[in-house]
Structure 1
């Protein structure tokens, strides 16, 4: 698949790049995408929730009424979960929500969402650029030139670019990541995927194995 390389003003340059069909032209696997996104969201959970159970409640341990003859259910402790102020029965405890996924499945998920972006014309290849100083306005001008200033965008770098990264931090709809940090969730969450020309080689080397 051949794609024209754009400049930061959104105009076509004389260059073209060939996107690998093994990455950008496969039949998307929706179940692989689901599992990878589910793992990503599960890993974001802190899992620090905790409710006090009856053994952790402060209260009297005396038997609150006699065992038999009251006409109601027997009760041995005011800290029981059936009483107001008692401990919670089977309450949440701190836990890790993460789970493991096969590396090949995660690669398949990323290739699937990249193929979806390419198929839906939501993928742009832009020649490498940099800013002299971190400035949000400079990045806004680039996004305007590409026609995606009002849409969620994910910009993928070929190598570390501190000024470009810092320029994006105040923008809620734009995110800048290195090609090694590319995730299925981020790609899926963006309306437009902007690949800097230098990132293509890294993406292909990571996903074709």
Structure 2
């Protein structure tokens, strides 16, 4: 398929051919669901912790004698039924991360790129950089493509340090490299801006490999 390439001023320059296997394939909702869940799970810190009755710093004495009070028997004040006692089945530090099959991840990202094309939220821009690293220079360019500060994704052809520095102070902008895409960001992005070089790299990087 072919799509337009825009200048940094928002003017049409030429067309570029996009790989149908990457940008024009059937969308797999299931793979997108698993990829987003995987990213969210891998970001979880998992530091929540509670104390059991064996870890609570409290008295080991019985709250009252065994017999003669009319109350139910009670062993010690660390019991979970007492105020200040331990917690039953509370959370403990754990690792929530897990590995998603590479084929599922690739399918999800290609599905999201195709979805961006179908929803007409993908725009290919000529290659540019912000040599000064100043936010205001990048903001001027973005105004030609984003008018209402919607959540925007900018896909780079490489890890451009100065571009990332310029994007730091733009709250609605998320910068990704073509080889380190995020399923979550692509799914929730309202506008996807892709450098021409990144589009060329994606044609090869996510091209058809073993039918995936």
TM-score computed with the length of structure 1 as normaliser? 0.94
Residue aligned with 2:15, SS: strand
Closer/same/farther in 2, CA of residues 148 and 123 from structure 1, 3 Å limit: farther
What is the CA distance between 1:66 and its match in structure 2? 3.2
Q: How does 1:1-209 map to 2 (within 5 A)?
A: 1-13=1-13, 15-148=14-147, 150-208=149-207, 209=209
Q: CA deviation at 1:67?
A: 3.1
CA 1:148/1:202 → structure 2, altered by over 3 Å: closer, same or farther? farther
| Contact 1:54/1:88 (8 A) holds in 2 | yes
Change in Cα spacing, 1:148 to 1:207, as seen in structure 2 (3 Å) is: farther
CA RMSD of aligned residues (A): 1.4
Cα distance change, pair 154–164 in 1 and its aligned pair in 2 (3 A) = same
Aligned residues: 208
Q: Which runs of 5+ in 1 are unaligned?
A: none
Between Structure 1 and Structure 2, the one with more helix by share is 1
Report the Cα offset of residue 149 of structure 1: 5.4
Deviation per CA, 1:81-135: give whole Å up to 9, x if none: 1000111111110001112211000111111111110001100000101123011
- Normalised by the size of structure 2, how large is the TM-score? 0.93
